[in-house]
Structure 1
Amino acid sequence: MGIFVDIVTIVLATLWSVCGQNVSSRQVACYHHDDNLHSVYNFSMPDIHGEKTIDFSQYRGKQEPGANGTEILNMLKHVRPGSGFVPNFTLTQKTDVNGEKEHALYTYLKAYCPPVDDIFYTEKSGIYYKPYHNSDVRWNFEKFLINKEGKAVMRYPTRLVPSALEKDIQDLLEEGSQSNSYGGGPGR
């Protein structure tokens, strides 16, 4: 876990289930940020209990909270690792990551990171939100790697296990958390 100092990782958890599809996925570099004056630190979300607002600026230089939902907190506490475990970071509420009610943080992240899947699902295959955008999060646990300046650097598909991000995180630490030069600009 020591390699995660000064790096933010966000694991997205979405709600729909689409089975039986063969999808071509890849990790993608996010767009260059010269024209981007914002970062994830400009956003906030309610905590898992809805009692306070989590201001992401308080996580600058720390590991970002990585999960949503009461069920995840209960799973950690009672199942795995269990034995009353309580994480030492704040969990956010379940949040819309796509559609007309999507949280501004995800609108921002998706604007600077191209999609990781070639196929876009519609209502016929289990998506029940609108409007649709090619950049939408496709599945549970799609990941964004954020540098310590709060800029998105990489976007990863669902099937990529978190340990596979280790090299990218290490490279980012060694580069001094400089933004990549993918090119292009924000877009959907």
Structure 2
Amino acid sequence: MYAARLDFLKELGNIGAGHATTALSQMLRGKRFQLVVPDARMLPFAEAAEFIGGLEQTVVGIFIIISGDVSGYMAFILPVDSALILARHLTGDESGELNEMSLSALEELGNIMITSYLNALAKMTNLILAPSVPAIAVDMAGAVWQSILAGAQIVNEVTVISTDFFAEGEAIKGNIIFLPNEDDFKKVAHILGLEEI
């Protein structure tokens, strides 16, 4: 069951990455953009925070709440240095600061990343998945993680989809965090023939 679910999440990662690449290439206005083949893994909640860079690292997080046939949370989290590189390519701002304009651009980009994966999941399952308006936060990863934990139901494992890419040859690291309601995700798994309800 675990292996089948992980294989599905990796497939979701590949399809979502394809959707995201198309959308982000347009957003980056013709700049060279390449998304590395993503890797999906399911990690214990405590390990997932360390995996995305450690609790003390400053990160930018873009979050949505999922409603519809599946409820839960999805986030795009990236280290602040990667966020600054992206912001520069998106806005042309060379200040090296996360100002209002760059945060707005990052929020839009994060929303595109998240909804690319969400739309891929909806297409694979024929379920209705509705994203909320995105929210953005800049804080230490530990604080961001606590915010996710506060909003989510108690879960044992977190799905982390690594989303590393290159913009004009500069490496950018990011992670999609997927926290579906476990009962709802069992419904997804059943639809896909991964496990019985």
Tell me if TM exceeds 0.5.
Answer: no
Larger strand share, 1 or 2:
2
